[in-house]
Every structure is written in structure tokens, then in C-alpha cells.
Structure 1
Amino acid sequence: MKIAIYGQKFVKKNIPYINQFIGYVSNHSIEIYIEQSFFNVLSSFEEFKNLNFPVFSHYKELLNKDFSLMFTFGGDGTILSAITLIRDSGIPIVGINTGNLGFLASFNKDVFIKKIDQIFNQKLHLIPRSLLWLETSIVNHDLFFFNNFALNEIVIFRKETVSMITIDVYIDNEFLTSYWADGLIISTPTGSTGYSLSCGGPIITPDNKNFVLTPISPHNLFSRPLIIPDTQKVHFKIHSRVKSYSLSLDTRLTYLNKENELYIKKAPFYIYLIQEEKKTYYKTLREKLLWGMDQRN
């Protein structure tokens, strides 16, 4: 079996967890490949200066070597970054939460070693997550190099101005409305607990086949989030007092000229996450959002 390891930041207090993990997989003759940048981060610590594992730096290297799993060490942002390497390969992600919130990185760093046998014996649950797929009216090679898909959300936002932008929205070629706002969030069910939630959007359980459109600080107070089926294609025309607007796909940010129209639909592939139990989402909501907790004291 071959596994990939990915991370971004790393702090000294997490060294014991990595050491236990590397010791386990080495003792079970599991091949380890470490993403190049993360390898460099780990090698900067005295405890890992003698690391001697093969590295990878491009998604094609994952496709060519028949990987069984990718382990990510970090938070949800680490997983969002990791999917640019996973893409449509179907390699499941095991998210080890060494960060803060951890909606996607579901394995707590203190207990994941106890679950390691179950993970490698495939006795846990494989959860598919849908993504958004972006196309533009003007061919933009930089954008597609930038990866035109998102697991959480795609955000259209004003740039270099304090004035609102206007976003005309068409759903399956039928005009919906024009949003006068700072921007607009197009979110998956996975991303409904992210930026969309902070802007008043609804929480959607991951097994739903929907997207949600959530305006950011709309001028019209009757503009509210809208849930639509993920079978529909959404078309956006952007109007602004300046020549360009901001566009983000998960954690990746770029800028487009306002003449560039956007088309968003469901991506033709899924990202697969391994979770401890089949029914953990409601438990995650209670724990991460502190539902039912008495905060008065």
C-alpha cells in the first residue's frame, strides 16, 4: 500500500503525533510519500532532519503511483489545499485535525492513532462530497492552471472600490435577479458552514444535492440566501465601477475583468473523506458550533 502525506504549517507540539504515525506505517510496510513543501517544513525540525521518504509535488505523480489514501495534518484549510492535488483521482482523504475548527478534518490528533487499524483496514466510512465547477466566457489559461473547482465555495467580490457591485444571476438561462452587494457566495453543502454561514446562509447537510447563493452585505434587505438544485447551471454577469472583480475558489484568490462572465455547475467528480462513524455530522455541529452549550458563565 502507498499513502501520501500533506500539510502546510507545523508546530513542535505536534511532533509526537507524526512520529507515532510514521512508526506505525513503517512497521506495517506501508510506503510513504510526502508532499515536497511539507517535507521541507518537517525537515526544518531537528527530530525530522533525517527523513528519508520519497516526495511528490504534482497531482500527476499521485495518479501515476496508485495511492490508496492521503493523510492531511492541519485543519480544514489544509484539506481545501490538498484537493488541488487530489482532483478527480478518487484518492480518499484522512483529515487529522491539528488546527482549530475541524469540520472536514474529523480525526482528533489525540485519538487518530487509536483508529489507525480501522482506517487501513477500511472499516470506517467513505463520505463523498460534491464540488463546484467554474467556467468563464473569456478563455483564461491562468484561471484553469489555478484549478477551476471548489469544495467549499466560489466567491465573487468587489475589488479596489468601496462601492457595491451588481451581479446579474441566471439559472438554467432564466433570469433570477440582480444582486446589489459587496459580493455573492456560491456554496456547496460542505461549504454551508463556512463563509456562507457567517453571511446568514443556511446550514445544509452534506448529503443534500443543492447549492446555496448567499449575498454579502446586500443593499436590498429583501435579498436572502437561495437554495437551488445542484443539477442547475448558474450564469453570472458582473457590473462594477472599476474594471475588475475578485474571485476566490476556496482558499485561492484571483482577479478577472468585469467583461468576463462566469458559469458555475456541479463538478463531474467527488472528493472522498474518511470519517470515524456513519452519522457524525450532527455531532460535529453540536461540538463545533457549541449548540446547546450554556455560554452565560
Structure 2
Amino acid sequence: MGTLFSTVGICAKRDDIGVMRTLHALTADLLGRGKRVLIDDSHDPAIYGVEACSRAELGAASDLVVVVGGDGTLLDAGRAVAAHGVPLLGINLGRLGFMVDVLPDDMKSTFDDVFAGRYIAEARLMISARLKPAGREIEADGMPAINECVVRNQAFARVLDFDTYMNGDFISHHRADGMVIATPTGSTAYALSGGGPVLHPGLNALALVPICPHTLSDRPLIVDAEHEIEIHIAQTIEGGALYTSDGQLSRGLAAGDSVVVARAPYNLNLIHPPGYDYFNILRNKLHWGRGQQAHRV
């Protein structure tokens, strides 16, 4: 894969008029540069004069994937294509735009830079969760996550009892609404709202953040991302529990089930335009910290 990115795939938010307008401008720009353009088959390729490609095949068929939408669209696309190592570039049509950092008006100048090799490449840690139903073997297939894996109570009015383990060693028993296991990318999402710390995306670490714990001493815990974390649901719970990846994929859990979370065997590769600054994003998107002050004489 060179800096020319001769084949560009597009993943875009569905059923949105604003997205369609941006897609017309995007595909026209890419075709005008002589790129082969593929679009995920939830969109009609004939409208844009490009080729259709299934989401499952888009990562292997593309040198670059452009995501049009918000952060949720990028999470969905990222889980689908990350295993192929293809980088993603996000066009922001959402509300926050924490990961999709190119505005539609800046598309042309951004592509001028990217196709000339002027960009910032970044690899983001991903995790994967496997379910171990009570009394059975652990499932072979994992469910990938970019932001977080979450285990929580299914009946929102009930507290969930569960235990946590690291590499088989007992960590703690918890009575809480659940637990968030967040990557550095996800530390500014659900985990942050639960009182977790912000982790710089370059860290090889995970944040374990209890959701509304029923004790003052159950605080977030930071661990090395190379460790395997297990959440074991108590046999005594009433009703069920729920597992989710990035708030988008979910599986039901029953008493005695476990969820085993480990680092995924691949990263999410992102491309940012020149001048990208993570701390600037924190200040402007999440209103974290304060602006730089002029030095007093």
C-alpha cells in the first residue's frame, strides 16, 4: 500500500440526505483524481457512478476507506475493516466528530495532502470479547470493539453482582449497574461519563470503570492491555445481563456466564490531516482543560 491509495472504499451513514450530498461531492472528487471508488452496498452505486462492494469485502479490496458520518459510523466501519489493516479517514457529518475530523468543506484540500503523502497515521488499540456460557467452553469467535466492551444489568432497576479477574487472578467482587472495559480511544466515551480517566491513545492500557457502583471504594482501575480480563456474572442474579461492543453489537448473558476481554490481534489504523492535535480535539470537542495563555512579562 503506497501513499497514492489507488482504490478508495467508502462507508457512509445510511438514509441521510446530508450524507447523499456529501457523497456526490466526495465521489466526484475521487473519480476526478483517477481513483477506483468502491461504496458499501447499502448505497446505490449507480447514483454516484462508482462500484458496489459488500461491507465484509471492502477492507480487503481498498487501500483507503473514507467514512462519511459521525463517530458511530466510524466505529461500525472500523470493526468491519480493521482486520485488513486498511487505514480510515473520517468526514464529519455527526454531532461530536471526535474521530471523524475532516469537515466536508475541507475534503478537497485534505485529499490534496493525503494523496501527496502528507498526513498523520495513527494506530489505535482494539479489544475483542469472547463469551463463556455457564458450564460450557468459551466461544471461539470474538466480538471486536474500538471504544469499549460493556457488561451491564438488563433490568435497569436492578444491581448486578459480578466478579472480575485478570489473567485468572481474582480482582474484586462488584455490585454495580455493570462494568466498562475501555480502550484509550473509548476512554473519552462511555467510560468518561462513568468517572473514568482520559487515556492518551498512544498508551497500551485499558480502563476498567464500574457503572454506578454500590460502594464508594469501587473505583476505576487501569491495567496493561496485554492482560486478559474476565467478568463473571454471579449465579444468584435475578433476570439477565447484557454485553455490548461499542454500544452497537449486543448479546444476552445469564447467571454464571462470563465475558473474556483481551487485546485484538490487530489495530484500528486512522489517517488524520496535517496539523491534527489530540489535545486540541480534547479542548474543543470535550471542553477539557483550558486554552493557552499569553506569557506575562
Indicate which of 118, 127, 152 corresponds to 1:157: 152
Structure 2 vs 1, CA of residues 286 and 161 (structure 1 numbering), >3 Å: closer, same or farther?
closer
Contact 1:129 1:271 in 2 (8 A): yes
Specify the alignment match of 2:112 in structure 1. 117
Instruction: Count residues in correspondence.
Output: 281
Indicate which of 198, 203, 209 corresponds to 1:203: 198
Structure 2 vs 1, CA of residues 219 and 68 (structure 1 numbering), >3 Å: closer, same or farther?
same
> Deviation at 1:123?
1.5
Alpha-carbon displacement from aligned partner over 1:192-223 (angstroms, at most 9, x marks no partner): 00000001000011001100000011001111
Does residue 64 of structure 2 align to residue 60 of structure 1?
no
Give the secondary structure class of the aligned counterpart of 1:99.
coil
Alpha-carbon displacement from aligned partner over 1:19-68 (angstroms, at most 9, x marks no partner): 3322221112111111111x14xx7xxxxx743322122423542x3x11
Matching of residues 17-28 of structure 1 within 5 Å: 17-28=22-33
Query: In 2, Cα distance between the equivalents of 1:6 and 1:157?
Result: 30
How large is the Cα RMSD of the aligned pairs? Answer: 2.2
Indicate which of 91, 98, 110 corresponds to 2:86: 91
Give the secondary structure class of the aligned counterpart of 1:247.
strand
Give the secondary structure class of the aligned counterpart of 2:181.
strand
Specify the alignment match of 1:3 in structure 2. 8
Contact 1:161 1:242 in 2 (8 A): no
Does residue 277 of structure 2 align to residue 280 of structure 1?
yes
Matching of residues 109-148 of structure 1 within 5 Å: 109-138=104-133, 144=141, 148=143
Query: In 1, Cα distance between the equivalents of 2:270 and 2:128?
Result: 19
Name whichever of 52-61 and 232-241 sits farther off: 52-61
Matching residue's letter, 1:26? L
Indicate which of 237, 242, 259 corresponds to 2:238: 242
Does residue 212 of structure 2 align to residue 213 of structure 1?
no
Give the secondary structure class of the aligned counterpart of 2:238.
coil
> Deviation at 1:93?
0.3
Query: In 1, Cα distance between the equivalents of 2:78 and 2:114?
Result: 20
Query: In 1, Cα distance between the equivalents of 2:26 and 2:265?
Result: 33
Give the secondary structure class of the aligned counterpart of 1:282.
helix
Structure 2 vs 1, CA of residues 96 and 279 (structure 1 numbering), >3 Å: closer, same or farther?
closer
User: Scaled by the length of structure 2, what TM-score is found?
Assistant: 0.87
> Deviation at 1:87?
3.3
Give the secondary structure class of the aligned counterpart of 1:208.
coil
Indicate which of 267, 288, 292 corresponds to 1:291: 288
Unaligned runs of at least 5 residues, structure 2: 1-5, 292-297
Contact 1:185 1:215 in 2 (8 A): yes
Structure 2 vs 1, CA of residues 166 and 96 (structure 1 numbering), >3 Å: closer, same or farther?
same
Matching residue's letter, 2:121? L
Query: In 2, Cα distance between the equivalents of 1:207 and 1:87?
Result: 17
Contact 1:189 1:211 in 2 (8 A): yes
Matching residue's letter, 2:26? F
Structure 2 vs 1, CA of residues 13 and 162 (structure 1 numbering), >3 Å: closer, same or farther?
closer
Query: In 1, Cα distance between the equivalents of 2:73 and 2:147?
Result: 13
Query: In 1, Cα distance between the equivalents of 2:53 and 2:276?
Result: 34
Matching residue's letter, 2:238? V
Contact 1:59 1:87 in 2 (8 A): no
Does residue 227 of structure 2 align to residue 222 of structure 1?
no
Does residue 270 of structure 2 align to residue 262 of structure 1?
no
Matching residue's letter, 2:240? S
> Deviation at 1:174?
1.5
Contact 2:12 2:19 in 1 (8 A): no
Matching residue's letter, 1:19? H
Give the secondary structure class of the aligned counterpart of 1:107.
coil
Does residue 196 of structure 2 align to residue 191 of structure 1?
no
Give the secondary structure class of the aligned counterpart of 1:111.
helix
> Deviation at 1:171?
1.1
Indicate which of 39, 42, 48 corresponds to 1:34: 39
Matching residue's letter, 1:244? G
Structure 2 vs 1, CA of residues 128 and 197 (structure 1 numbering), >3 Å: closer, same or farther?
same
